[in-house]
Amino acid sequence: MFYRILLIICYSLLFLTSHSQKVSTNINLFPPLSGPLYLSGAFGEVRTDHFHSGVDFRTGGKANAEVFASEKGFISRIKISGGGFGKAIYIDHPNGYTTVYAHLDRFIGRIDKYVKDQQYKQELFEIDIYLKPYVIRVERGELIAMSGNSGSSGGPHLHYEVRRTLNQMPVNPSFTNLAITDNLKPSVRGLWIYTLDSSVSTNIKQKTPIDFKSNNGDDITISDTVKTFGTVGLAIKAYDYVNTGSTRCGINSLVMWVNGVPWYSFKVDGFLFSETRYVNSHIDYEIRQLEGKRIHKLFIDPNNKFSNYGTIRNQGRLTVKPDSIYAVKIEVGDAYGNNTYVNLTLKGIKPKTDFSILNAETSNIEQVYWSFYKKNIFKRDDISIEVPADALYNDLQFTYSVSGRLKGTFSQVYHIHNRLTPVHKAFTLKIVADSLPAKYRQKALLGTFSPKGEIISAGGSYVDGAVTASLRSFGDYFVYVDTIAPTIRSINLANGKDMSKEKSIRFKVDDEFSGIGKIRGTINGKWVLFDYDPKNKLIMYEFDAERLEQKRNQILEITIIDQMGNANSKQYKFLW
């Protein structure tokens, strides 16, 4: 018995070590930037398809701020990509933590040399290198890079993370000694009540805004009693300013009490990357898609397994009884102990007698009931959909319909439920392409529509008579082909031009549909490094005197290949 108890204790400690969200407050870090630290993004705030895994430090709207190592250690990883973090450095420290510095413009000194050597060795711009502890060691406060705007950054800044090295779990840097001052309370900008009773609607959650005067961090007491009935949930829109030099950031925590009883709590101080997509269940995904608003639900979906919920009673839902009064108190918190409170009163009334919802009659719409915990398969002669278990956050009345073929496509348009329902795991969609000419098969993929109605790529490939893709969103899909090569436009290079006073060669590159897949440049037959900035459709080669002989005629050949293998090449002769 003793050994069994000991084993249980050991397993419990292991679980707490890997999942606990508490962060030690004695983490002593050197500031990654000099001067005051102003935030433009808080840890854990809602982003597209993920919770923010770090903090964003402002750099005055410009690149080239000096970036320093927060503690001694060794560079464990260097990753460069056109999207995501762009140019990023990961440093492992003896204290058991890893710091991450992302969206960098360039690396410094020996780090820069090592990275370029690896890129030239692999003949790749995008690299992901894991380094041994002895390769590049750094000291606390050492200059390692210059800040930038690389990757998917929306503007110049430094994305900074603190992770537990053991499991790479990001934790809130606000719990370190970094000098981030915050005495401003969060602001509440919206409050909604949702009708969740399935007897009222199986498919539609009715949302009613609760009127109140917007505040600037002051507590709110809603004087008018909110009358409602059945099973309801609340949702809130709130944000936070960390200090006067910071832009609007996300909140850190939410707590709700009903008649003094803890009913719901959420606090994001650390999470595993494997669970970050639960953000789409945490928020009102439909409003996010339609209006761009980030609204926190104060109730959780049955298949929302995010580990940052604390006390949850009845999944945050409240069953309101007629003629009963419910005092609701909501606490909105930031990461620095500032809280704003909202107080309101709900009163139960007798429900309406007619709960029916009239749906438009459409002869070709099919509906199938899907359970979130099961694997769901939908098949017809020309299409199949396979959704894995736990890919949905709720049970779903799945809808499917077909409409006519669009000009230039090779199938009908298949309406796979709708884009307003979030999907947690990727599902497989196959559309039979029996009308697709053989010459186009290797150029076939699925098309869909952007929120603006533009045709965009959904990826996929032709296999055994069908175009198959792994997707993360419901919506409208059809078979499309991409036979058009990317475009290349020179910015500062022309045949015969003397480039001896230029620092770089720059091109604008674009692809109409499937997207840029590969970039290859050579000078005099030898591979040269072109940086790729997808958001600006820019590629750039910086002249490298160590690798390129000067004061001679040069021949540049640049080749751009898209995701479907369509290629475009250009050749230039110049002097450098």
Q: Which of 38, 112, 48 is nearest to 83 (CA)?
A: 48
Q: Which of 165, 158, 137 is nearest to 72 (CA)?
A: 137
* pLDDT number for residue 353: 53
The alpha carbon dihedral of 467, 473, 477, 483 has a sign of: negative
Residues sharing a CB contact under 8 Å with residue 158, sequence separation 6 or more, in sequence order:
32, 33, 56, 57, 59, 65, 67, 101, 102, 103, 104, 147
**All domains of the chain in start order, with CATH:** 26-30+55-171 (2.70.70.10), 187-348 (no CATH), 366-481 (2.60.220.30), 487-575 (2.60.40.1220)
* pLDDT number for residue 25: 55
Do the Cβ atoms of 414 and 402 come closer than 8 Å?
yes
CA 196 to chain centre: 28
CA dist list (Å): 81 to 66, 88, 104, 516:
21, 9, 11, 13
Do the Cβ atoms of 104 and 79 come closer than 8 Å?
no
User: In sequence order, what are the beta bridge partners of 416?
Assistant: 400, 475
Element (DSSP H or E) covering residue 481: strand 475-481
Is pTM beyond 0.85 here? yes
CA–CA separation, 234 and 191 (whole Å)? 7
pLDDT tens, position by position, for the chain (576 residues)? 333 333 333 333 333 333 333 444 568 999 999 999 999 999 999 999 999 999 999 999 999 999 999 999 999 999 999 999 999 999 999 999 999 999 999 999 999 999 999 999 999 999 999 999 999 999 999 999 999 999 999 999 999 999 999 999 999 998 899 988 888 999 999 999 999 976 433 344 689 999 987 667 789 999 999 999 999 999 999 999 887 777 899 999 999 999 999 999 999 999 999 999 999 999 999 999 999 999 999 999 999 999 999 999 999 999 999 999 999 999 999 999 999 999 999 999 987 655 444 444 445 789 999 999 999 999 999 999 999 999 999 999 999 999 999 999 999 999 999 999 999 999 999 999 988 999 999 999 999 999 889 999 999 999 999 999 999 999 999 999 999 999 999 999 999 999 999 999 999 999 989 999 999 999 999 999 999 999 999 999 999 999 999 999 999 999 999 999 999 999 999 999
